[in-house]
Each structure stands twice: as C-alpha cells, then as structure tokens.
Structure 1
C-alpha cells in the first residue's frame, strides 16, 4: 500500500481548520496544520508535505508571504490558496508568487478534495513526463515535441510552452493574464493580446477547423482552456 499523501493545512479560522483536519483523512490524506504564517513556513520545511492549503489572511506573516518564502527556498510543494478575498488582483498575485491553484471561500469540501486530487495527479505526471494524446496528435513532454501521424510538427519554443501548459491542465480555464504569467513569466512586459496571437497560431497548426476549435477553447469573458 502506498503511503498517504501529507497535506499541510494553514488556516487561522479554527472551525474551518478543524473541519479540514477531520475531512481530509476520510479521503485518505494525512494532515498537519498551522494557524499562523511563521508556523506554516517552519512546518512546511520540517514536514515536507505533498501539498499545502494556504489561507491568505493569517496572523503574523500573510499567506502571500508564506508562498513567496517557500518558493524562495526552492520548495516545489503544490500550493492551493484558500481565501475569502474576491479581488482578481489577489488571484493574480497568488499565481505570480508561485501558487498552483486558487479557491474562494466558502467552498464545498467535495470540490476542494477534487482539486487536491487533480493537482497531486498533475504533479505526479510532471514528475514522470507524460505523452499527451489528443486527436491525431501526440505531445511528448519529455522530448518536448509534437507529432501528428508520426510526423513532427514544428513549433517555436513559446508556442510549444503555451501548448504544453494548456495540455497539462485539461478542462481548467486560464485568463490571459494567468497564461502570460505562467508561460511568458512575471517580468514579461507585453499585452494580453500576445496570448490571443499565439492561440490563433496554435489553432492553425492543431485544429482541423481553426474557426471551430476542438482543443484550445475560448472561455467567454475569461480566457482559454484545453480539451483533449
């Protein structure tokens, strides 16, 4: 039997922290918890959890500071930010600081557990680079190649990076700002229209009918998502 995945719960609201401490073990997870930012950093480094659930509004060091500190220490632990804050800027900042997912409170426990499992699966796939099949295409993450009917499709490095990122997160919608941050990097100074131009080019390469795409889908008023 494989060992249970360990989750670090960082939440200062005791009723919610207790609920997570009770619910997550029922789904096969081991749990350690902290109620403030400083303890969270110490526990993350000492316990080496498989995933962190991180509240933003914490006593002492904020969740933003905790996330930044863990990434500064080269911790690659997956981080899901939990917050009652609703501003889009908070979501964007979370991703810029290295968070992997962002969940607004209140949330359903079942939905949170599903996100945890999905993120842990993505990390597993990342550790063992997959070959992603969609339509007649095969995206080989280890070789960083795209082939169609055994013939290589030439992509620029940035085109490949955008396609790979979307393909590794099927069914998950990303804003243009999030894609700029995750694919181009936080220091990129271009506009969100850059994403649209690259999506148009990718559709011309992988879609049977670029005007009616089946793989890189537009999510109205939001951005893009990938479908296999």
Structure 2
C-alpha cells in the first residue's frame, strides 16, 4: 500500500542502501537514492523528497555540508542523519546545520521505520487551511509562514511546529518536556539546549524586541507561555 511519501536514501554502502531501500519500499514508501555526496544535493533539490536519510560520511561531500546547503537552498523537509557510533559528532552544532534527528549505525530496521513514521506524523504539513493570528501577525502553518505588514516571513519546520503548539495553547504554561515531545516526538538525542536555541530563533521572527519577548515568554524553571494580546 503506497503512503505517497518519498524517502531519499543517501548512503555510499551499497549493501546497506539496498537493505534500507527494500524495507522502505516494502512499507509502501517511494525511494530515490544515491551513494555520492556531490549527486545528493542535486537529487534532493530536484526530487524534493519528504524524508532524507543522509549518511554522515560520503564521498564528495560530508552529510553536514549537504544538509547545510539544501537548507540554504530552501529545502525544509525531514533530514535524518545516519552516523556510526564511533563518530564523535557535536550534535548541538549539527542541529544548527538543519538536521532533524539522528540514528546510529548499526541500526535496527524496525527502529528506523518507527522513527520515519514518527517524523512524518509530526513534521509533514497536513492539508488544513487553519490560520492563526496574534497581534498584527498572521500564522499560516500549512505553508510554514508568517505574514506581517504585508510581508511574508518563512519559518523552518521546527519553528512552525513550536509556534503552532503555542497558538493552540495560548496562555497555558508549557514545559520544555511537553514541547520537545510535541515538536520532535520521542528522541533521546534532543535536549533542552537544542529546544531553547530554536525558541531564540523563533523570537527573532515574531518579537519586536527578542531580548525582551512580549509574546513568547519564559516561565522560569518550567518552560514557556504564549501571551496573545495586542502589543502597544
């Protein structure tokens, strides 16, 4: 049964790439693939897959460079980095390149499929025409955008998920743990520092003064609260 979801498998180990592709196709995913880092960027930007499984070490270009380049080019879908356990990676820094999550090799295929299904459920935009308003800003979650003073402001997938959850829970105190679960789904690789980094970036897009946030307020020792009253 087709899920109408395309996964790009970027992996230079032909045996692993075959196994992953075969399992994904068995699960009903469409698959595109390459084992070359230089070809990977072109493939991703042309095919625009819903999910990218991206090896960290590739001939031609490393995975973090590929991820950073496709994000700069406007690609906003899911990127799961595949890393060997022996590779010492600064995951906080790599999240800034735009990685959605990680899975370490060797991995269990069932775990990989569960991770992909989790990300698809949380990250891919649903066909809902809902529009939210706060102050003089309009949030259009289905196209990951804000509109303010006639200008469109693009949001990343993560920023979009964070803001949407706040706008669905205006005035409610939300713990960091709840927010991480909603935005990332269950992932042991995500920590509060990563979350706070994305909140800082979101504030730069929604606040007049990000250093003294009006809408997205910090609740000390707990998390955050979104206040929806028109700013003076």
Give the TM-score band, short-chain normalised.
0.5 to 0.7
Structure 1 residues 161, 59: closer, same or farther in 2, change over 3 A? Answer: same
Distance 2:71 2:51 in 1: 13
Q: Does the alignment pair 1:200 with 2:221?
A: yes
- Structure 1 length-normalised TM: 0.66
Contact preservation (8 Å) 1:56, 1:64: yes
Counterpart in 1 of 2:167?
Answer: 144
Contact preservation (8 Å) 1:94, 1:102: no
Structure 1 residues 20, 87: closer, same or farther in 2, change over 3 A? Answer: closer
Contact preservation (8 Å) 1:162, 1:183: no
Distance 1:89 1:127 in 2: 36
Q: Does the alignment pair 1:178 with 2:201?
A: no
Pairs within 5 Å for 1:20-59: 20-59=20-59
Give the SS at the match of 1:19.
Answer: helix
Structure 1 residues 198, 127: closer, same or farther in 2, change over 3 A? Answer: farther
Distance 2:127 2:86 in 1: 33
- Structure 2 length-normalised TM: 0.65
Alpha-carbon displacement from aligned partner over 1:57-84 (angstroms, at most 9, x marks no partner): 0001110110001000011121000010
Pairs within 5 Å for 1:83-98: 83-86=83-86, 89-98=89-98
Pairs within 5 Å for 1:113-132: 113-124=113-124, 128=128
* Structure 2 unmatched ranges of 5 or more: 132-161, 205-217, 226-232
How far did 1:10 drift?
A: 0.3
Distance 1:85 1:74 in 2: 30
Structure 1 residues 170, 37: closer, same or farther in 2, change over 3 A? Answer: closer
How far did 1:175 drift?
A: 1.6
How far did 1:90 drift?
A: 3.3
CA RMSD between the two structures:
3.6
Distance 1:167 1:67 in 2: 23
Counterpart in 1 of 2:109?
Answer: 109
How many residues align structurally? 180
How far did 1:179 drift?
A: 1.9
